[in-house]
Amino acid sequence: MGKIKKIKVAPGISWVEVPDAGLNILCGCPADSVKHLIKNGMIKTIEKNGATFESGPNVILLSDTSIQNGQFSNLGEFPVLQMLYKQGMIIPNHPNNKGQKPLLMGTKKQVKAQLSYIYRGNYGLTSVEEIVSAGIAKELAEDMMKVKLKFAFGKIAHTDNFLDTLVIENKRVEVKNNVFIKRSKFNNYVIEYEGEKVSISLDLKPGESFTPSYHLGFYKVHREYFSVIHSGEGDGWDIHRPCMSSIITYDQNMYIIDTGPNILETLNSLGISVSSIKGIFHTHCHDDHFSGLTALIQADHKLDYYATPAVRSSVSKKLSALLGRPEDFMNRYFNIVDLEREKWNNVEGMGVKPFYSPHPVETTNFQFRVISENGYKIYSHMADIASFNVLNNMVSSKKGDDGPSKELFDKVKENYLAEADVKKIDIGGGMIHGMAKDFLNDKSKKIILSHTNRNLTPEEKEIGERASFGMIDTLIPSNANPMSSYVQKYLRHYFPEELFDELRDIINCPIVDFNAGSILLKQSGKNDYLYLTLTGNVEMIQSKKNLHQMVSAGSLIGEMAALLSEPRKKTYVAQGHVWALKIPAIIYQDFIKKHRLLQHILKRRTNKNILLNLPIFEQMASSYIINTLSQALTRKQIHKNNKIPVGDSPELVVIISGEFALMSPKGEILESLKKNSICREERILFPKMPISDIRAITDGEYGLISGDQLNEIPAVIWKLFEIYDLRTALQPKLKKAA
Check pLDDT > 90 for residue 668.
Answer: no
HSE-up (13 A, CA, CB side) for residue 529: 15
Residue 118 and residue 158 in contact, taking contact as beta carbons nearer than 8 Å: no
Nearest to 125 by CA among 150, 103, 99, 156: 156
Check pLDDT > 80 for residue 665.
Answer: no
Mean per-residue pLDDT over the chain, rounded: 91
pLDDT digits over 286-302, tens only? 999 999 988 888 777 88
Which backbone phi and psi does 624 adopt, to 5 degrees? -65, -45
The confidence score (pLDDT) of residue 397 equals 64
Gap between the Cα atoms of 20 and 41, Å rounded: 19
Percent of the chain with pLDDT over 70: 97
Check pLDDT > 90 for residue 582.
Answer: yes
Gap between the Cα atoms of 148 and 143, Å rounded: 9
The stretch 528-541 carries a mean pLDDT of: 92
Residue 518 and residue 538 in contact, taking contact as beta carbons nearer than 8 Å: no
Percent of the chain with pLDDT over 90: 66
Tell me, what amino acid is at 622?
Answer: S
Check pLDDT > 70 for residue 732.
Answer: no
Gap between the Cα atoms of 438 and 459, Å rounded: 12
First vs last C-alpha separation in the chain? 51
pLDDT digits over 694-718, tens only? 999 999 999 999 999 888 888 888 8
The confidence score (pLDDT) of residue 629 equals 87
The length of the chain in residues reads 738
Residue 324 and residue 344 in contact, taking contact as beta carbons nearer than 8 Å: no
Nearest to 313 by CA among 131, 137, 149: 131
HSE-up (13 A, CA, CB side) for residue 594: 10
Q: With 0-12 CB in 10 A as exposed, 13-18 as middle and 19+ as buried, what is 349?
A: exposed
264-300 exposure pattern, b = at least 16 Cβ within 10 A, e = fewer: bbbbbbbbbbbbbbbbbbbbbbbbbbbbbbbbbbbbb
Residue 253: its H or E element: strand 253-257
The confidence score (pLDDT) of residue 138 equals 95
The stretch 522-543 carries a mean pLDDT of: 89
**226-476 and 482-604 share one CATH topology?**
no
Contacts of residue 410, defined as CB under 8 A and 6 or more positions apart, other chains included, come to: none
Check pLDDT > 90 for residue 225.
Answer: yes
Residue 694 and residue 662 in contact, taking contact as beta carbons nearer than 8 Å: yes
The confidence score (pLDDT) of residue 566 equals 84
More confident of the two residues 105 and 609: 105
| Range with lowest mean pLDDT among 34-48, 181-195, 384-398 | 384-398
Check pLDDT > 70 for residue 400.
Answer: no
pLDDT digits over 44-71, tens only? 998 887 788 999 999 999 999 988 887 8
Superfamily of domain 226-476: Ribonuclease Z/Hydroxyacylglutathione hydrolase-like (3.60.15.10)
| Range with lowest mean pLDDT among 105-114, 483-492, 587-596 | 483-492
Superfamily of domain 482-604: Jelly Rolls (2.60.120.10)
Fold of 633-737: Jelly Rolls (2.60.120)
The confidence score (pLDDT) of residue 660 equals 95
Which backbone phi and psi does 519 adopt, to 5 degrees? -90, 120
Q: Please state, as a whole number, how many other Cβ atoms lie within 10 Å of the Cβ of residue 461.
A: 13
The stretch 377-392 carries a mean pLDDT of: 95
pLDDT digits over 451-504, tens only? 999 999 999 999 999 999 999 999 999 988 888 888 988 888 888 878 888 899
Check pLDDT > 90 for residue 369.
Answer: yes
pLDDT digits over 159-169, tens only? 988 999 999 98
The confidence score (pLDDT) of residue 331 equals 86
More confident of the two residues 102 and 564: 102
Gap between the Cα atoms of 31 and 260, Å rounded: 9
Per domain, the residue ranges of the chain are 5-107+168-201, 226-476, 482-604, 633-737
Phi-psi region of 430 (alpha: psi -120 to 50; beta: other; left: phi over 0): left
Query: Which DSSP symbol is given to 417?
Result: T
DSSP 456-475: PPHHHHTT-BPPPTT-EEEE
pLDDT digits over 609-621, tens only? 888 888 888 766 5
Q: Please state, as a whole number, how many other Cβ atoms lie within 10 Å of the Cβ of residue 375.
A: 8
